[in-house]
């Protein structure tokens, strides 16, 4: 059921187990791309706020590590249950904030629940091995150890699933975290963080901070107390992350843009190929690094494929993702819309 009223509120940062305003006193408005109405407000944080978040995570990392993997997994199980209880609200927020259709948003949030439960289960799995030794009096073994403070920078196109598949493994393996979400999905992210805060993580283990990428994102990347960073986003920023992390010798993980072809051969099932291209290219309005961005078709089936593809694309209904029967929602922002239309014009010219 879609709510007829939607509370527009200001969401704070979560630092050292407290919801706090940014020291700047400023906020950033999140806009519904379907109707240009405000969805909510998040903090426009400063370097001072970031330093507090990282310091809290740094202070918490030792006790969190000592808690034990099983106990950490139990807290993630609790988080999964809370997220599941709030699935509809979070999914609706996602649709309002970045335009993804409500069925897609519910599916993504449910996937977030599944990811949390999977990594909660990791709490009961081994964290090392005993290795045979040629010396009968020697004990040789390996043991996985947490890195420490992990910085997490996430995009707006999957504002629930992508953060959780970074947050959950980092936490269950004993790291404390500082999470900076993309502004276009920050209200949704704040609602996800509320689920984490209600699960009972110890003081300083999970920290959430919003703001401009040039200030908070770059500041997190360069922070001297950071032990590892995971990033999903543009190639240019990813290169900056790699450069900074490698220079300091810390671990880093990057997930950046893709250029994904669908190859249709002459013996392919054309109807299935069309369905795959439509789903891969237009779901989430094509705003995915895994989106089908080009199709390579053998010449003998090109005309048939093109006719069926055009016919299928013409049936796509576009509109407010909260409405029933809408197949594709709006682009997440005006700038994203301009990027898409520029590529369309480029395609026509080529």
Q: How far apart are CA 225 and CA 251, in angstroms?
A: 13
Write down the pTM of the prediction.
0.92
Calculate the CA 97 to chain-centre distance.
Answer: 14
Q: Residue 62, Cβ neighbours under 10 Å: how many? A: 12
Q: CB of 206 within 8 A of CB of 181?
A: no
Q: Spelled out in words, what is the top-level CATH class assigned to the domain 260-349?
A: alpha beta
The whole-number pLDDT of residue 6 equals 61
Catalytic residue among 47, 84, 89, 255: 255
Catalytic residue among 97, 184, 289, 331: 289
Domain extent listing, the chain: 10-128+144-255, 260-349
Query: Given this model, what pLDDT does residue 290 score?
Result: 87
pLDDT at 5: 53
Mark whether 195 is an active-site residue. no
**What are the per-10-residue average pLDDT scores of the chain (350 residues)?**
64 98 97 93 98 98 95 97 98 96 97 98 92 93 94 97 98 98 97 97 98 95 96 92 94 90 96 95 89 93 97 94 92 90 90
Residue 255: active-site member:
yes
10-128+144-255: CATH number: 3.40.605.10
- pLDDT value for 53: 98
């Amino acid at each position: 059921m879609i709510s007829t009223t939607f509370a527009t509120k200001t969401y704070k940062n979560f630092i050292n187990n407290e919801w706090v305003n940014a020291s700047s006193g400023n906020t950033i408005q999140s806009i519904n791309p379907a109707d240009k109405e405000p969805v909510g407000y998040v903090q426009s944080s400063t370097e001072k706020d970031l330093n507090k978040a990282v310091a809290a995570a740094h202070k918490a990392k030792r006790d969190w590590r000592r808690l034990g993997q099983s106990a950490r997994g139990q807290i993630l199980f609790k988080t999964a249950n809370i997220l599941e209880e709030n699935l509809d609200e979070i999914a609706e927020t996602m649709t309002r904030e970045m335009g993804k259709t409500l069925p897609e948003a519910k599916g993504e949030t449910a996937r977030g629940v599944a990811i949390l439960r999977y990594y909660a289960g990791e709490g009961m799995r081994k964290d090392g091995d005993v290795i045979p030794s040629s010396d009968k009096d020697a004990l040789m073994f390996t043991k996985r150890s947490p890195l420490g403070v992990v910085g997490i920078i996430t995009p707006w196109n999957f504002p629930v699933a992508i953060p959780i598949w970074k947050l959950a493994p980092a936490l269950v393996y004993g790291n404390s975290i500082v999470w900076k979400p993309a502004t276009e999905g920050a209200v949704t992210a704040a609602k996800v963080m509320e689920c984490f805060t209600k699960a009972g993580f110890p003081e300083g283990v999970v920290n959430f901070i919003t703001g401009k990428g040039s200030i908070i994102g770059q500041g997190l990347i360069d922070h001297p107390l950071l032990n590892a960073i995971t990033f999903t986003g543009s190639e240019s920023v990813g290169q900056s992350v790699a450069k900074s992390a490698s220079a300091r010798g810390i671990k880093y993980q990057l997930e950046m843009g893709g250029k994904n072809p669908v190859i249709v051969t002459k013996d392919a099932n054309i109807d299935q190929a069309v369905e795959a291209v439509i789903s891969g290219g237009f779901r989430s309005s094509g705003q995915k690094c895994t989106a089908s961005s080009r199709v390579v078709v053998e010449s003998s089936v090109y005309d048939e494929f093109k006719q069926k593809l055009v016919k299928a694309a013409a049936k796509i209904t576009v509109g407010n993702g909260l409405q029933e029967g809408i197949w594709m929602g709006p682009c997440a922002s005006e700038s994203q819309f301009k990027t898409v239309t520029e590529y369309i014009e480029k395609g026509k010219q080529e």
